[in-house]
Amino acid sequence: MRLIEWLESFNRKERFFLIGNALGNTNFSLSDEYRSKLDSALGIHPPKDSFVAMDYHLDWIHASLFLSSSTNQLNKVHENSGPIVTANQEDIDLLVAFEGSGVTHLLMIEAKAATGWTNKQTLSKADRLRGMFGEEGKKYPDVKPSFCLTSPRPPQLLDSKKWPSWMAPGGQPIWLELQVPAGRRRITRCDQAGKSSADGNFFRVI
């Protein structure tokens, strides 16, 4: 099977099917506008029929890469060096995959709308992706990985120097603006005086 076929076979997120059915877009087809935005950020223009998935586990990406090699068979027990397969929920917020120019492109997009990224979170993901694709992203010659962050504002104080070079060309992460409507509110627990408290018996809206 081709890499994209393996990726499709692991995609079993309930929210993917629920949202696809609810919006009448069961294939999660990218809009023309968003495809152009990805082209501006990454220099790669995905086709309309790209494979698209949300909350896609890193374990699933690794298994798809591994099984797409003709030397690895599905119905066997495989060594888990590293380990690369961790059986946790670490994922990619939006995965876009397509074939073109003799390679399979994997575009991995991480999103934050209200909160910011932490170095602990991003370094953990960078280490996992380094194990899959290598420092320069050339572990699989017929696969080209790309990575970008998307948020309302560019990330601040994020240390990307320890990321693989393909994730942060020139030492800087690639960023794509995420449009979020203004005026979104949040609720926080607090004490009676309104001071934020994880154990507070009151709440306030900010």
Q: List per-residue pLDDT tens for the chain, 206 residues long.
A: 899 999 999 999 999 999 999 999 999 999 999 999 999 999 999 999 999 999 999 999 999 998 898 777 777 787 787 667 888 889 999 999 999 989 999 999 999 998 888 999 999 999 999 999 999 999 999 999 999 999 999 998 899 999 999 999 988 999 999 999 999 899 999 999 999 999 999 999 99
pLDDT tens-digit map of 82-93: 667 888 889 999
Amino acid at 87: A
Query: For residue 36, how far is the Cα from the chain centroid?
Result: 18
Whole-prediction pTM value? 0.91
What's the confidence (pLDDT) of residue 70?
Answer: 73
Q: Round to whole Å and give the CA distance between 53 and 16.
A: 7
For residue 188, the cross-strand partners are 204
Q: Round to whole Å and give the CA distance between 91 and 108.
A: 10
What's the confidence (pLDDT) of residue 80?
Answer: 80
Amino acid at 177: E
Could you tell me the two tokens for 40?
């501006």
